[in-house]
Amino acid sequence: MAVPLTRDAMDHPRRTHAARHTPATAARFPDDAVTLVLRGHEVATVSEIAKTIPRYDYTAVPFEADYDAREAKVRAEAAARGDEDPTEYALWRGTMRDIKDDVKRIFTDEAQHWHVLIQWERFAARREPTNPPDNDNDASSVYWKTLCAGTYADDDAAATEKLFRAWSRSLEVLRKNEKRFGSLGYGVHPLAYVLSSACAEGFPEFALYCECAVERRLGWCGNGWLALLPEGARMGDRIVLAEGGRVPLVLRPDGDGYFTFVGEAYVHGIMNGEAFEQARCQDIKVC
């Protein structure tokens, strides 16, 4: 499950407030007990979405797994088939097969993770984002600030950008893989990334700042904003700022005046109330 965007990538409470610290006093449940009424307004519509960055277990080490548990699994499989108790050789073969399957799964998950990151780069490079600029950088920095969901090392955006540039350089071997091998390139991403990172600058710190992006999608809005969206987001979903809301919400209209809650969004340039207009707020029925 993706980490809540009410916290930053380092798991600290988010200090910005997309609704300008307004209270949510108008939020209420009508008598039907299944509808939540919020006060807010739409700011954008999702027009394009990229793939979801999958999570992979970077701590998984299959060779350190519990061999007793693996042997018990082999015995259980044999019993389910009605076979006799496995011999020592059969137990060894079954355990090795189980380890091989774990290695394949771990590398496949990691390969997909890096493959989607490379795709996100291309997706974000399609056009210049129109997100409202902040004080320390122009619109060209929107991509990396979206990746880290506005999380800065020691509150220093310039220092964090340096971390991003070092991390981006470490991905060059993956870009070359995909350019050379096409859709097959991501199959060698895990080993290539590990070797290149270990031999170059080490594993870049900025990777830790991408936690908020895992199990989420990158998306473009109809007004040109680049946004970090929930995994379940679809084209046509609305990005809404609600009174009392620390982060933007993604809601899906059902065509009957009601909305379905999809999740949270990070939209750089509007996270501190820049796009919130309380005078535009109206009742939004979520069910």
Structural domains in the chain (count): 2
User: 227 and 247: one domain?
Assistant: yes
In eight-state DSSP terms, residue 257 is S
Across 63-67, 97-101, 196-200, 229-233, the highest mean pLDDT is recorded for 229-233
Q: CA angle, 44 as apex, 42 and 48 as ends, to 5°?
A: 145
Q: Is there a single domain that holds both residue 112 and residue 244?
A: yes
Same domain, 94 and 126: no
Per-residue model confidence (pLDDT) at position 84: 79
Side-chain half-sphere exposure of 68, counting CA atoms within 13 A: 0
CA distance 148 to 266: 10
Same domain for 152 and 95: no
Is 129 inside a domain boundary? yes
**Enclosing domain of residue 91:** 63-102
Residue 203 clears pLDDT 90, i.e. is over it? no
- Angstrom distances, CA of residue 142 to CA of 51, 53, 128, 158: 19, 18, 9, 13
Write down the pLDDT at residue 199: 43
CA atoms within 13 A on the CB side of 287: 14
Average pLDDT over residues 223-232: 97
Supply 22's token pair.
Answer: 């307004």
Specify whether 153 is located in the same domain as 243.
yes
Q: Is residue 25 part of a domain?
A: no
pLDDT at 202 exceeding the cut of 60: no
| Residue 169 predicted with pLDDT over 70 | yes
d(CA 119, CA 41): 32
Comparing 133-137, 151-155, 171-175, 276-280, the range with the smallest average pLDDT is: 133-137
pLDDT, the chain, mean? 84
Burial class (CB in 10 A: 0-12, 13-18, 19+), 149: buried
- As a whole number, mean pLDDT of residues 206-221 equals 94
Q: So what's the pLDDT on residue 95?
A: 73
- pLDDT beyond 90 at 72: no
Q: Among 52-56, 195-199, 213-217, which is the least confidently predicted range?
A: 195-199
Return the axis-axis angle of helices 172-181 and 88-124, rounded to nearest 10°.
100
149 inside domain: yes
% of the chain beyond a pLDDT of 70: 83
253 burial level (CB within 10 Å; 0-12, 13-18, 19+): middle
pLDDT for 55: 85
Q: What is the pTM of this model?
A: 0.82
Tokens of 259: 């909305």
pLDDT mean over 256-263: 94
Residue 47 lies in a domain: yes
